[in-house]
Every structure is written in structure tokens, then in C-alpha cells.
């Protein structure tokens, strides 16, 4: 038998396996866990623990070691790849989300900007539309075709969408703009309708074809109430509009229209008051006879001018039934009684009898109207229920409103431009012969004027109403009546021609308010028509002292007449100053010298102290008149000073008022606006109506 030769390698392997088995089952055998770090710094154990055994053969140990290392690295690479893939997917998702979000925001921004651009365009287009409406309002184009309302509908539609979502001042601006457009167009529309109805009323009255007067008055009154509301809304909304968005011309137009509509509201209030008394004036219940005295302001007299003609307007049941115009000289001829004139007429006019043409000697129209009624009633045997005093300038402006007057009898046309020239041309002829009848030229013009007005269309007849209102406001037209209610209405409107005694305004009223009244009245006693050539400059110096208020008035007359012959020549005038009866008269100087005693008058008349003097101003010369008086008062702050300067009808002048006060006082309220310097207030007026100044004072902090 051959002996079995053991394989040394196999024996070694078996021996090793036996040893491994022994080691694995031996609980006391310590083990060491081998870990390795990957590129992320994470530590991972190797799958198989390394047994701490006896040293193996180098080859086996190397094989085992390399096998374990490759497995571990492969596993690590797989984990790393998985983690990288997961990160890439996560980043890709975030980038995609950010992309879509950015794209969405960009799209929303583009859409929003586009919508806002459309809104802004609509706003400014609507703004231009409103500026066009303002232009129509400024030029009083009430009959202009009003643009269709859909011109601002796009803006209004967008507002309905955006207002619930957005709260922005620009949206409020747009809303205010639309409201202003509505108000502007409503006013234009209402004015057009009002003109039509007012024109139909006056046209029907003058033509004797009036509809139901009460119904017409009610309709007009309702329209006036609507217009008052529209004006109030416009004025309130215009204050809310940011004017920076308006063009320079639009801002100017808005300021002008705001002022105009404020005056329009005053006119509406006056018209409403007139409508209440109109049935009485037009003789709805009983016949009424209105006398119109036509005064030539070129020969100035107390109520506005020398009485050149007289008109009789007879009304019955709301209609003009008859109109007659005659020369004042003609009526004086048929009057039988002989009346002694006032001493001033005797003294300065040299008349021994009182005539209708001089019956307006009292500056207070109701007082003069009593004498006028007496003379007219005696000459015509007709009752007189009211008196209207109308100057030549008033007639000229009515011709301007109605249009040229054709006089085919004389082959003439009278316009507002040649009115005075034609009057002067015919002045030396007391009467004209037309169709074998003697006719006064001025009476012919007035008759033609009434006929022309009655034949106008309603829109142009409404212009006559506007002209009459303006004349009453600026005094070429004044009114009084025998009926108490009617006379009170004229007085409240400021059209009554009375000597006024106003109270201290509520803005200035304090327990200590000093009222200073001054009414200067000029009467041309030179029997010429030189007043248009007289320039008059008035300056009042007022000083508020501790116990006295000193008032000095300086008047400069400059006669610019070029001829010594009639109707020009020297200006000889009787000046009257009406002061409060408590005033203390000090002096009256002419060219720096005291007035001659025989030329100076001083007397009391009702609640007034009257100072009178005669002056003479040669052609191309100047004369200065200085009046001084004082008012007593208790110097106790706070207190107010109020100066009321009543204006004579038929006059216009430039006036400056300089009001100085003590350093211990400080004005807290000044009306109207004035230039303020050291203890001095400077007011300037181009007087066409009544004027007043006032200041409320308090103790100075100094």
C-alpha cells in the first residue's frame, strides 16, 4: 500500500477552516468592526467583520482584503450616485417651480401694467373731454351739442372693476373727474332749458301771448332748484380734484368757472326772489303801471342822470298791454300845476319851478319816486305803481343784448357802438316829424327796443334777462314800488336805490363794532353833457386811534373835455357827502383852501348828516377836494371797524383806501384782501358797485 501523501495546501486550508469554525463559535473571541469614510464624510461599516485570528497566509489575507474593499467602494459609489441623483432631481424641481413662478409674475406684471396703462389713458382722455366741457361752460355755450356720455364710459366701467379690489388715490381722482363731468354737462343742459323757458316767459309777456304764468314760474323755479344742487356738487367736487393733473389752461378755466358758478348761485337766489313777486309786478291780480325814467348819466344827477324820457308800461293779467315813451319835456308841458323846487335846485340850477326832468333830486330813489309819481300822474292821469330808473348806459347795453335797431323812418340803424353818437346828432332837435307826427328821437329808439325784444327767439330773450340782472347789480337799473312786498324785495336784492344803513357784517361783528358810512353824490348843475370827460380819483385815509377814528377823503377831478362849447365845457357840480348823523364834521377844502361859506351847506336829513359844496373844474384842469370828519369810539380790544362806501348810480371811479391802526392792535380778520405793511392796510378798487372794507382787531402781543 502506498502511503497517502497529504496535500500541504489543502491541509493548511482545512486547518484554517477548522480554526475559523472554532473562532466563530467562541464567544470569548474579540472582534473589531472596520469602518471607512466616503467622500461625504459619512462612516460605513464593512459588511463582513474582520476576525482577529491568527495570521493567515499572505495570499488569502490579500484576497480577502481586496474583495472586501471593492465591495465597500462599490456600495459607496452606488449610495453616492443615488444621493447625487436625488439632489439633481430636487434642484431641477425647484428651478422649474421658480421659472414658472417668475414667468407667472412677469406675465401678471405685463398684464397689470397694460391694464393700468389702459386705465391711465382712459383717465387722461376723459380729462381732455372735461377740459372741452369747461371751455363750453366758459363761453356760455349752453346750446352746444353736449358730447355723448359714452366718452367717459370706459373709465367708469374700469372703476367698477378696480374699486372693490384696489384702494388707490388715483381711482378716487377718476371717480371725482367723472362726477365733475356729469355736473358740468348737467349745468350746461339745465342752463339751456332754463334759457328757453325764461325766454318764452318774457317773450310771451311782452308780446301779449303768455301761457299760464303760474305754471311757467313753477317750472322755472324747479329748474333753478336743480341748478343750485348741481352748482353745489360741482364746487364741492372741484375741491377734491388734484389740479396737478390739469393743464395750465384747464386750471385757469376751473378757477374762473368756480368763481362764475359762485356768482351764478347768487343770481339764482335773486331770480327765485323775483319770481315770487313777479305776478304782482305783471298785474296778475290787478292792473299795474310801471314808470321807466330814462336818465342821461352824461349829465349826472343824484339817482343816475338827467331825466330825458319817461316810459309807461301797462301790465294786466301777466301781459304787457301797452307801452308808451315820451320826452320829459313833453310831459312837463302838459302839467298844469306849478310846484316850488327845493332850495338847492333854486340855488344851483336857477330854476323857480320844479319840473319832472329835475324830480330825481333826492339821492334816495324811493323819495325821488314819490315826486316822480306825482308829476307823471298829473301829466298822464294814470296811476303809478312802480318806478324803474334806467340810465342811457343801461339802454345801450340792452341794445347790445338784443341786437341792432332798424329805424327805416330815418334810414338809420342804431347799435351799441353808435348809440351815443346818434343821440348827440339828434340832440338839438327837440322832436322829429314822422308820418305827420312829432316824435322824440330817444322815445323812438325805446319803442323800437321793446318791439325788438318781444320778437326775439327764446334764447336771445334770455340774454335780455341776463342783461337786466347785470344792470340791476351794477346800478344802471334801480327799482322801487308802492307795494310793500315788492319794494322790500327790491331792497333786499340791493336794487332799490335807497340810502343804505348796513349793519356790521357777521364776520366782523363784536361787542364793539364801529360803522363808518359815506355816500358821495355828484349833481351836474352846469347844464351840459361833460361827465364822460371827467376823471375822478378817490383816496380815503382812515386812522384808528384810541378814542377817535379819523377819516379823510381826497377827490381829484380832471376835466379832459376838448371843447368849451356844449355839450362839453366846464364841469360845474354840486357835491353832497352823506355821513352818519353821529359823525363829527371837521373841514372841507378845495384846492387846499377852505370852501367859501356861501358855497358850503350843512344839514341833517333823516339818519344822515349832509355836507354840500359846489365845485368848478375848467376844461383841461384839475381840482382837488378834501373832506375830514371823525367818529368817536371806545378803544377796547377786540373790536372791529367797518367802512361802507355807497356808490352813486351812473358813476365809475378808481378808489384807494388806506387804513392805519395803533401798534397795540393786530388785525385778525381783513375783508376784502388788502396789502398789509407796518400798521397799514391798503385796499384798491375799480368801483362799479358798492364797496366796503373791514377789519377785526385784537390786542397785539407786543
CA distances from 214 to 198, 217, 296, 672 (A): 13, 5, 37, 41
Which range is least confidently modeled, 44-48, 467-471, 647-651? 44-48
Set of cell numbers at residue 268: 339764482
Distance of CA 139 to the CA centre of its chain: 15
Cβ-contact 626, 554 below 8 angstroms:
yes
Closest by alpha carbon to 522, among 592, 371, 623, 396? 623
Q: Which residues pair with 31 in a beta bridge?
A: 51
Q: Is 597 left (phi over 0), alpha (psi -120 to 50) or beta?
A: alpha
Q: Cβ of 392: how many Cβ atoms within 10 Å?
A: 24
H-type alpha helices, 335-457? 343-349, 365-380, 392-402, 419-425, 441-454
The answer on pLDDT for 26 being more than 70 is: no
Helix axes 169-207, 458-474, angle to 10 degrees: 100
In the chain, ranges of CATH 3.40.630 domains: 288-493
Give dist(CA 257, CA 234) in Å, integer: 10
User: Which secondary structure element, helix H or strand E, spans residue 301, and what is its range?
Assistant: none
pTM of the predicted model as reported, rounded to 2 decimal places:
0.79
Total residues belonging to the chain: 702
Mean pLDDT within 566-575: 95
Give dist(CA 561, CA 578) in Å, integer: 29
What are φ and ψ of residue 36, in 5° steps? -140, 155
The residue whose grid cell reads 317773450 is 203
Provide the pLDDT for residue 586.
96
The answer on pLDDT for 590 being more than 80 is: yes
446-477 pLDDT, tens digit each:
999 999 999 999 989 999 999 999 999 999 99
Cβ-contact 367, 315 below 8 angstroms:
no
Provide the pLDDT for residue 19.
45
Domain 288-493 fold is Aminopeptidase (3.40.630)
What are φ and ψ of residue 69, in 5° steps? -65, -45
CA distances from 317 to 278, 321, 369, 471, 519 (A): 11, 9, 25, 26, 40
Q: What is the DSSP letter of 531?
A: G
121-140 pLDDT, tens digit each:
655 555 566 566 666 665 65
In the chain, ranges of CATH 2.60.40.3680 domains: 513-699
Provide the pLDDT for residue 153.
57
Mean pLDDT within 516-541: 96
324-363 pLDDT, tens digit each:
999 999 999 998 788 999 999 999 999 999 999 999 999 9
Q: Determine what percent of the chain is predicted with pLDDT higher than 70.
A: 74
- Give every CB contact of residue 349 below 8 A, 6+ residues apart in sequence: 341, 358, 525, 527
Q: Cβ of 572: how many Cβ atoms within 10 Å?
A: 18
CATH class of the region 513-699 = mainly beta
Amino acid at each position: 500500500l502506498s502511503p497517502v501523501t497529504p496535500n500541504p495546501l489543502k491541509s493548511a486550508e482545512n486547518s484554517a477552516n477548522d480554526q475559523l469554525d472554532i473562532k466563530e463559535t467562541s464567544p470569548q473571541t474579540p472582534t473589531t468592526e472596520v469602518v471607512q469614510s466616503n467622500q461625504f464624510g459619512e462612516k460605513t461599516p464593512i459588511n463582513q467583520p474582520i476576525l482577529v485570528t491568527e495570521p493567515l497566509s499572505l495570499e488569502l489575507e490579500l484576497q480577502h482584503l481586496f474583495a472586501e474593499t471593492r465591495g465597500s467602494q462599490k456600495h459607496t459609489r452606488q449610495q453616492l450616485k443615488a444621493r447625487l441623483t436625488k439632489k439633481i432631481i430636487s434642484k431641477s424641481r425647484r428651478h422649474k417651480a421658480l421659472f414658472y413662478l417668475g414667468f407667472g409674475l412677469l406675465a401678471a406684471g405685463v398684464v397689470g401694467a397694460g391694464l393700468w396703462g389702459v386705465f391711465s389713458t382712459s383717465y387722461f382722455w376723459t380729462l381732455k373731454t372735461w377740459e372741452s366741457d369747461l371751455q363750453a361752460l366758459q363761453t356760455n355755450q349752453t346750446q352746444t351739442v353736449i358730447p355723448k356720455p359714452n366718452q367717459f364710459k370706459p373709465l367708469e366701467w374700469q372703476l367698477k372693476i378696480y374699486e372693490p379690489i384696489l384702494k388707490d388715490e388715483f381711482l378716487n381722482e377718476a371717480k371725482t373727474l367723472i362726477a365733475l363731468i356729469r355736473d358740468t354737462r348737467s349745468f350746461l343742459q339745465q342752463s339751456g332749458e332754463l334759457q328757453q323757458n325764461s325766454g318764452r316767459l318774457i317773450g310771451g309777456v311782452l308780446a301779449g301771448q303768455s301761457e299760464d304764468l303760474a305754471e311757467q314760474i313753477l317750472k322755472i323755479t324747479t329748474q333753478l332748484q336743480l341748478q343750485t344742487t348741481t352748482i353745489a356738487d360741482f364746487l364741492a367736487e372741484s375741491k377734491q380734484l388734484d389740479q396737478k393733473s390739469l393743464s395750465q389752461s384747464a386750471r385757469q378755466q376751473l378757477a374762473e368757472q368756480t368763481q362764475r358758478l359762485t356768482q351764478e348761485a347768487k343770481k339764482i337766489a335773486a331770480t327765485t326772489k323775483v319770481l315770487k313777486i313777479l305776478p304782482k309786478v305783471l298785474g296778475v291780480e290787478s292792473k299795474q303801471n310801471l314808470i321807466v325814467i330814462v336818465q342821461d348819466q352824461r349829465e349826472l344827477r343824484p339817482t343816475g342822470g338827467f331825466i330825458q324820457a319817461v316810459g309807461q308800461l301797462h301790465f294786466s293779467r301777466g301781459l304787457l298791454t301797452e307801452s308808451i315813451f315820451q320826452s320829459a319835456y313833453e310831459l312837463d308841458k302838459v302839467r298844469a300845476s306849478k310846484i316850488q323846487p327845493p332850495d338847492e335846485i333854486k340855488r344851483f340850477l336857477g330854476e323857480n319851478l320844479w319840473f319832472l326832468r329835475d324830480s330825481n333830486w333826492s339821492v334816495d330813489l324811493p323819495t325821488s319816486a314819490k315826486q316822480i309819481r306825482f308829476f307823471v300822474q298829473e301829466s298822464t292821469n294814470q296811476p303809478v305803481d312802480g318806478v324803474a330808473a334806467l340810465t342811457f348806459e343801461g339802454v345801450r347795453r340792452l341794445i347790445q343784448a338784443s341786437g341792432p335797431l332798424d329805424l327805416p323812418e330815418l334810414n338809420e340803424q342804431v347799435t351799441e357802438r353808435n348809440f351815443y353818437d346818434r343821440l348827440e346828432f339828434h340832440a338839438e332837435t327837440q322832436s322829429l316829424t314822422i308820418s305827420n307826427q312829432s316824435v322824440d328821437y330817444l322815445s323812438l329808439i325805446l319803442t323800437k327796443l321793446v318791439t325788438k325784444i318781444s320778437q326775439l327767439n327764446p334764447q336771445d330773450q334770455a340774454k335780455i334777462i341776463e342783461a337786466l340782472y347785470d344792470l340791476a347789480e351794477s346800478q344802471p337799473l334801480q327799482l322801487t314800488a308802492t307795494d310793500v312786498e315788492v319794494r322790500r324785495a327790491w331792497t333786499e336784492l340791493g336794487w332799490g336805490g335807497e340810502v343804505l344803513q348796513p349793519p356790521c357784517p357777521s364776520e366782523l361783528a363784536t361787542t364793539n363794532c364801529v360803522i363808518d358810512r359815506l355816500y358821495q353824490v355828484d349833481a351836474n348843475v352846469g347844464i351840459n353833457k361833460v361827465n364822460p370827460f371827467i376823471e375822478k380819483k378817490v383816496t380815503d385815509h382812515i386812522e384808528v386811534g384810541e378814542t377817535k377814528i379819523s377819516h379823510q377823503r381826497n377827490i381829484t377831478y380832471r376835466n379832459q373835455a376838448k371843447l368849451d362849447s356844449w355839450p362839453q365845457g366846464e364841469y360845474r357840480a354840486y357835491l353832497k357827502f352823506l355821513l352818519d348823523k353821529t359823525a363829527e364834521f371837521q373841514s372841507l377844502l378845495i384846492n387846499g383852501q377852505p370852501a367859501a361859506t356861501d358855497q358850503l351847506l350843512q344839514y341833517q336829513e333823516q339818519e344822515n348828516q349832509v355836507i354840500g359844496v359846489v365845485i368848478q373844474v375848467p376844461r383841461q384842469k384839475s381840482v382837488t377836494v378834501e373832506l375830514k370828519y371823525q367818529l368817536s369810539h371806545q378803544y377796547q380790544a377786540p373790536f372791529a371797524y367797518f367802512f361802507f362806501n355807497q356808490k352813486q348810480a351812473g358813476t365809475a371811479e378808481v378808489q384807494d383806501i388806506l387804513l392805519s391802526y395803533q401798534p397795540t392792535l393786530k388785525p385778525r380778520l381783513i375783508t376784502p384782501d388788502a396789502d398789509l405793511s407796518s400798521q397799514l392796510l391798503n385796499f384798491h378798487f375799480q368801483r362799479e358797485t358798492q364797496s366796503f372794507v373791514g377789519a377785526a382787531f385784537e390786542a397785539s402781543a407786543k
